[in-house]
Amino acid sequence: MIGYGLGGRSFHAAIIAVTPDLDLAAIVTSNAERQQQARAEHPRAAIIASPEELFRRARDFDLVVISAPNRTHVPLALAAIEARLSVVVDKPLAPSSMEGRRVVSAARERGVFLTVYQNRRWDGDFLTIRRLLHEQRLGDVYRFDSRFERWRPMAKPGWRELGDPEEAGGLLFDLGSHLIDQALFLLGPVANVYAELDRRRPGVEVDDDVFIALTHASGARSHLWASVVAAQNGPRFRVLGSRAAYTKFGMDVQEEALKRGERPSAPDWGAEPRERWGRLGVGDDTVEVPTVRGAYQDFYAGVVRSLRDGTAPPVEPSDAVATLEIIEAARASI
C-alpha cells in the first residue's frame, strides 16, 4: 500500500488487515512519524520509504493500493501497471477524464487488474435505497437528493486546499466523486449537467461549497450537495418515487467507527442505531426503515474474488472515468 495518511491508515489498511486471503505485506511512506505508526499497527508489514523501491521489488507482491495525494494517482498507477501489479486506486482515478482513460487503456492493454476505491457504494443508507428499489417500494425514481455536508469554517493546510489543477483538490473531486458515483450507479447515464461551485471561506483556492444537478437519460434528476460551510445539515438522502419517498438524516456509521480504530471484524460492524433510521411513505403515513448494515469490507472481498476467479472488479474503472466526465461537465457549466 502506497500512502499512510488518514485514507491509507483507516480506509484501506484497517480493512485489508481483516480481509480473508489478503496480507498487507508492505506500506510505503517517507514520513517518519507515519512509519512509526505503521510499524506499531501492522508489525508484519515491511516499511518502504519510496514507491520506486516498491516497484523494484514488484515480484514480491500481487496487488498495489494507491492511497497517496490525488496528483500521484496517474503516475503511480501507470508504474504499477508497467510492473504487472494489480491496482486499486483511491478516488478520483485521475485529475481528468483523459488521464483516467489513459490508465484504463494501459491496464487493458497489459491485461492488468484495475479498480477504483468507491467505498461509498457500501454505505448502509445507500444499500438501503438499493434494497427499496429492488423491492419496488419507491416505484420509479423521480428525484434523488444526496448530501455530504459538514461545518469546517476554517480551512486546514494540505494539498486538498491547493488550486493547481494537477492537485485535483476541492470538494468536487473529494466528496463530489462519491456523490456522482452513487447517482450514476443508481440511476444510470446522464444527459445534462448543471453546477454551482463556490469558495466560501476566506483565502481558499478551491471549491468548498458545491451543488450539482444531473438529468439522467431515464428522466430522473439527481441533486447533489457537498459543503464544509453547512452550519445545519439537510437530509443525507431524500428519494422521491412514484409510489413513496424515503428520507434519511445522518452519515453512515462506518467512517466514524474507522476513525475510532474499530474494524469490520467487529460483530456489530456497520449497524446503525434506530434513531438514525430513515422513513418511507407518503405524507404523514410513513414507517421506519431499518438501515442495511454498511459493508466497506465487501469492496476488498470483491478484489479477492476478481484476482482469484477472474470475476468483474468491485468497481469498473470505466465508471470512474464517467464520474470524471461529469466533474468536467460541472466545471464547464458554470
Query: What CATH number does residue 30 fall under?
Result: 3.40.50.720
Task: Give the Cα-Cα-Cα angle 84, 85, 87 (nearest 5 degrees).
Answer: 130
Task: Give the Cα-Cα-Cα angle 23, 29, 31 (nearest 5 degrees).
Answer: 140
DSSP states along 21-50: T----EEE---HHHHHHHHHH-TTSEEES-
282: left (phi over 0), alpha (psi -120 to 50) or beta: beta
**Domain co-membership, 25 together with 92:** yes
**Domain co-membership, 152 together with 60:** no
Nearest to 129 by CA among 245, 225, 301: 245
Residue at 168 is within a domain = yes
Measured CA to CA, the distance from residue 266 to residue 253 in angstroms comes to 13
Measured CA to CA, the distance from residue 51 to residue 66 in angstroms comes to 10
Across 44-77, b (16+ Cβ under 10 Å) vs e yields ebbebeebeebbeeeeebebbbbbbbbbbbbebb
pLDDT score for 65: 98
Indicate which CATH number applies to the domain containing 166.
3.30.360.10
Question: Is residue 141 classed as helix, strand or coil in its secondary structure?
Answer: strand
pLDDT score for 32: 96
Residue at 271 is within a domain = yes
Phi (first) and psi of residue 21, to 5 degrees: 75, 10
Q: Which residues pair with 280 in a beta bridge?
A: 246, 287
**Domain co-membership, 128 together with 220:** yes
Give residue 216's identity as a one-letter amino acid code.
Answer: H
pLDDT score for 191: 97
**Domain co-membership, 108 together with 210:** no
pTM: 0.96
In sequence order, what are the residues at sequence separation of 6 or more whose Cβ sits closer than 8 angstroms to the Cβ of residue 305?
311
Q: Which three cell numbers stand for residue 85?
A: 501489479
**Domain co-membership, 135 together with 265:** yes
**Domain co-membership, 238 together with 272:** yes
Number of helices (H) and strands (E), helices first, in the chain? 11, 13
| Number of domains observed in the structure of the chain | 2
**Domain co-membership, 91 together with 155:** no
Residue at 55 is within a domain = yes
pLDDT score for 155: 86
Residue by residue, pLDDT tens for the chain (334 residues) are 999 999 999 999 999 999 999 999 999 999 999 999 999 999 999 999 999 999 999 999 999 999 999 999 999 999 999 999 999 999 999 999 999 999 999 999 999 999 999 999 999 999 999 999 999 999 999 999 999 999 999 888 887 888 888 899 999 999 999 999 999 999 999 999 999 999 999 989 999 999 999 999 999 999 999 999 999 999 999 999 999 999 999 999 999 999 999 999 999 999 999 999 999 999 999 999 999 999 999 999 999 999 999 999 999 999 999 999 999 999 999 8
**Domain co-membership, 97 together with 128:** no
Length of the chain as a residue count: 334
What residue numbers bound the domain in which 84 lies? 6-118+300-314
**Domain co-membership, 47 together with 133:** no
**Domain co-membership, 188 together with 138:** yes
Residue in the structure block whose three cell numbers are 503511480: 76
**Domain co-membership, 198 together with 271:** yes
pLDDT score for 334: 87
